[in-house]
Structure 1
Amino acid sequence: MTSAFRASRRTKELLRREIPGTAAVLADPHDFAAMRRYRTFPFHDHTHYLRHLEEHLRIRTAQGMRTSLALFDPTAYAAYCEELGIAPDSVDSRARYTADLARNGATLPYAGEPLAQLLPLLVEETGRQAVWDSAATRLAEAGTCRKCGEDLSQSAFALATQALKELLDGLGDGTHHLVCSIPAGAPPLLAALRVTSEEGRHTLSESQSLIFCTVLAAGIAHRTPGGIVSRSTRPEPSSEEATTTAHDTARGWALRDGWPEPLTAAQVFTAYCTDITTGDPIPPEHRVDHTAGFPLTRPPQSHDC
């Protein structure tokens, strides 16, 4: 038995101990390096770790064993261990953390895909879950109206749902990408939603729309600043070509007094053509029209009691 074979078998045995039905993956090399400070963490090379993890996952799948993937966050893990008073340098503690991730965190089912293909999706899903958790917490903090006792979180969510419906109806047919941002801490709450609309029917992800409305509702409930931008693509027949060409329209709304109010075309242009990091102007994109947002009807219940 060669040393390479023994090392490979040893790695598989270690992975079996580390995966209690859900694999909490160290997708980032920096996160992997952070875990190496623990004596009981048995891996030394990130590429080697991912390669053997993928092999192990495929074996489990071939044997009919279902496995979910979650992201292992060393910082969150250390805080988790401190909160529960358990030792972080322990296989059992890592297994306990992973089990809690399976119950409460973002996960994706593994079905034999290459990890290189699945991990970016897992990172994206984990980010969405984090935004939803923060937005839901922020929304719940709104409490009740001191004048009438109304649950402000429920009424704000109803307003956000109404605003999204009006937005989608007003944008019309096409493919729309909407982003809602609320500066409620660092980082700010940010939710994206992709919608395809045709003849009044809207096709969209329920989870994305839930997060979008929760973020918007958090801004409405606390009457904080914020904004919504949309970018719509409608195929238009070209007179010179047999194919179609895409023509995009950008619009925007600012959250004022708990309701999205339309931006002017100049304000939309400024929003899209300014570097958000440096504040420097950037060239406008080709074939993108910067158009004023359209008014959204403010429901009566959005007024103060």
Structure 2
Amino acid sequence: MSAQSQFFDFAEPVVRRVRAGVRAGVRAGARGGGGGGAGGRRVPLPGRPGPGGPVGGGAPGGPPGGPPSGGRGGPRPPGAGAGGAGARSWRRGRPRGAPPPLPVACALAVRQADFAALARHGLFGRLAFREYLRRTEAQLRALRGQGVEIHLRVLEPADYEDYCELLGLDPAGAAARVAYAADPELAGEPFVYAGERLTELLPVLVDDHWSRVRITVAGRALLDAIGEGAGGPARLVEVMAYVAAVHLALAEGAGEGRHLLTVRCHGPEDGEQLTAAAELGIVAGRLVEGGREVEAFCVTVAAGVAGGGAGGLLLHGDPAAPGGQAVRGWALADGRLRPMSAHEVFDALTDDVARGLPFPPGAVPLPGFALPAFPAEAAPGGTAPGGTAPGAAGVEEEGGGAPG
């Protein structure tokens, strides 16, 4: 199991609790008349987080532990065209004047335990899980063969039941499944089915789904921190541009290879914990195209920065590098990042062990390097004292030159 998979397995229950709190806040706001504030509104977020989104495009990354999408010349994994730019792939090669495919949304039970929990509502008749997957795959392929564009999402038992309670829907009814499948609250462009076998596609769909959940939760926290005043849009652009500069600086400092970024932060008031992880691939001096996991990472960092949060960011180096796996870190305090010392990095790793994560084998804790300062705090000329000018990282984006 890769470090990214281990991080996600640990963080998933935390994300579930936070998301349940978001749902509860929405429900309380709805019962109270839908007043202002986070609890009384549903905030559909765009699929692109703006300047802080993934560099180079939006196809989601490969399965945990595999090479980043589009990297090293290997075949793209199942679902590599889903979401992001892949969600619009039907536009390419379509005869001029032909109507676009009719889109439909479908929510799938992806795990045996989820299937069993949902079966209590009578959703699947007497089907067993394998038979359900076999029949579902046949139906999806038949629809796709008729020119239908199919958008997939994960059917989570607890969230589905919470959703039905919020809207007053019967979980056993077809209307509830249709509404949940097309729920606009889940951020990001849809995951488009391209004819893959479900046994190969489901792990990719799960990874993509949890990235979308993280974007949704962190995006709500980000928008709440930005506020709804007249200066909100400009502030949002400023924060996301800063996070993009930080991401490029991390890529420049990481060097060649396949690395892993993890971030964990808490809000200053409610202590809400946000987590995300994303692979960072550098090949021949170029930043390999990222995916939805990079969007989730950037939006999570942005929420911590805008909300004055506290936490930490770790850069796990390529485990195949000679001399061991270098791990560098940055502390987030009052919404600002500063390099950790090697001792602080070691402490952060041991804290992760206390939370249930294994200590990375062969890890070599090293101090973090200078990152761009927030624009308002940069020295004259836009350069952070002792750091790098925002946006001046020397790593080239895939398909382009060095960022300006």
**TM-score scaled by length of structure 1:** 0.75
**Distance of 2:121 and 2:359 partners within structure 1:** 49
Q: Does the alignment pair 1:264 with 2:341? A: yes
Q: Which has the larger displacement, 102-111 or 123-132?
A: 102-111
Establish whether residue 222 from structure 1 lines up as the match of residue 307 from structure 2.
yes
Correspondences of 1:83-94 after superposition (within 5 Å):
83-94=166-177
CA separation of 1:198/1:131 partners in 2, compared to 1, >3 Å: closer, same or farther?
Answer: same
Change (3 A) 1:96 1:43: farther
Check if 1:137 corresponds to 2:220.
Answer: yes
> In the alignment, what sits opposite 2:369?
294
- Render the CA deviation track for 1:64-98: whole Å, top value 9, x for unaligned: 54433221123322333333333333223322332
1:189 alignment partner in structure 2: 274
In structure 2, do the counterparts of structure 1 residues 126 and 302 end up closer, same or farther at CA, with 3 Å as the change threshold? farther
Shift, 1:125, TM fit? 0.7
Q: Is the 8 A contact 1:195 1:203 kept in 2?
A: yes
| Aligned residue number for residue 175 of structure 1 | 258
Contact 2:226 2:306 in 1 (8 A): no
Contact 2:331–2:337 (8 Å) recurs in 1:
yes
For 2:212, the aligned partner's letter is Q
CA gap 1:94/1:205 in 2 versus in 1, 3 angstroms: same
Name the CA distance, whole Å, in 2 between partners of 1:251 and 1:195. Answer: 14
Counterparts of 1:102 and 1:23 in 2: how far apart (Å)? 15
Q: 1:214: how far off?
A: 1.3
Opposite residue 36 of structure 1, the aligned amino acid is A
Determine helix, strand or coil for the equivalent of 1:100.
coil
CA contact (8 A) 2:215 2:300 kept: yes
* Residues 263-287 of structure 1: CA deviation (Å, up to 9, x unaligned): 111222233345534589x66623x
Once the 2 structures are TM-superposed, how far is the Cα of residue 168 of structure 1 from its aligned partner? Answer: 2.0
Q: Distance in 2 between matches of 1:179 and 1:156?
A: 19
Alignment equivalent of 2:249, drawn from 147, 166, 178: 166
**Conserved? CA contact 2:186–2:213, under 8 Å:** no
Q: Which structure shows the higher strand fraction?
A: 1
- CA distance in 2 between counterparts of 1:171 and 1:69 reads 34
1:31 aligns to 2:114 (yes or no)? yes
Contact persistence 2:256–2:285 (CA under 8 A): yes
How far apart are the structure 2 equivalents of 1:276 and 1:155? 35
In 2, the alpha carbon distance for the partners of 1:256 and 1:186 equals: 13
For the 8 Å contact 1:179–1:228, the answer to whether it is kept is: yes
Structure 2 equivalent of residue 14 of structure 1: none
Question: Match for 2:326 among 218, 224, 249?
Answer: 249
2:152 corresponds in structure 1 to: 69
Whole-angstrom distance in 1 between the partners of 2:137 and 2:272: 32
**CA distance 1:73–1:51, shift in 2 (3 Å):** same
Q: Is the 8 A contact 2:245 2:372 kept in 1?
A: no
Contact between 2:187 and 2:212, CA under 8 Å: does it hold in 1? no
- SS of equivalent to 1:260: strand
Shift of 1:159: 2.5
Q: Deviation of residue 253 (structure 1)?
A: 0.7
Question: Residue 194 of structure 1 contacts residue 204 of structure 1 at CA under 8 Å; is this kept in 2?
Answer: no
Which amino acid counterpart does residue 361 of structure 2 have in structure 1? E
Give the match for residue 233 of structure 1.
318
Residue number in structure 2 paired with 1:203 = 288
**Structure ID, larger Rg:** 1
Counterpart Cα distance in 2 of 1:60 and 1:102: 25
Gap change, CA 1:61 and 1:271, over 3 Å in 2: same
Instruction: Tell me: CA distance 1:285–1:255, structure 2 relative to 1, closer, same or farther (3 Å).
Output: same
The answer (yes or no) to whether the contact 1:106–1:125 under 8 Å persists in 2 is: no
**In structure 1, what is the equivalent of residue 140 of structure 2?**
57
Q: Identify if the C-alpha distance between structure 1 residues 263 and 50 changes in structure 2 by more than 3 Å, giving closer, same or farther.
A: same
Q: Percent identical across equivalent pairs?
A: 30
Contact 2:105-2:182 within 8 A present in 1 as well: yes
Q: Is the 8 A contact 2:123 2:172 kept in 1?
A: yes
Deviations 1:181-204 (A, max 9, x none): 213478732222222225653223
Q: Which moved more, 1:204-213 or 1:180-189?
A: 180-189
Does the 8 Å contact 1:233/1:246 carry over to 2?
Answer: no
Distance 1:63 1:44, change over 3 A: same
Task: Name the amino acid aligned to 1:190.
Answer: T
Structure 2, unmatched stretches of 5+, are 1-102, 379-404
Instruction: State the Cα distance separating 1:42 from its structure 2 match.
Output: 2.3
Amino acid at match of 1:249: A
Q: Which of 111, 121, 127 is 2:210 aligned to?
A: 127
Q: Are residues 45 and 230 of structure 1, via their aligned partners in 2, closer, same or farther at CA, if it must alter by over 3 Å? A: same
Give the number of equivalent residue pairs: 273
TM-score after normalising by structure 2: 0.58
Alignment partner, residue 195 of structure 2: 112
Structure of greater relative contact order (alpha carbons < 8 Å, 6+ residues apart)? 2
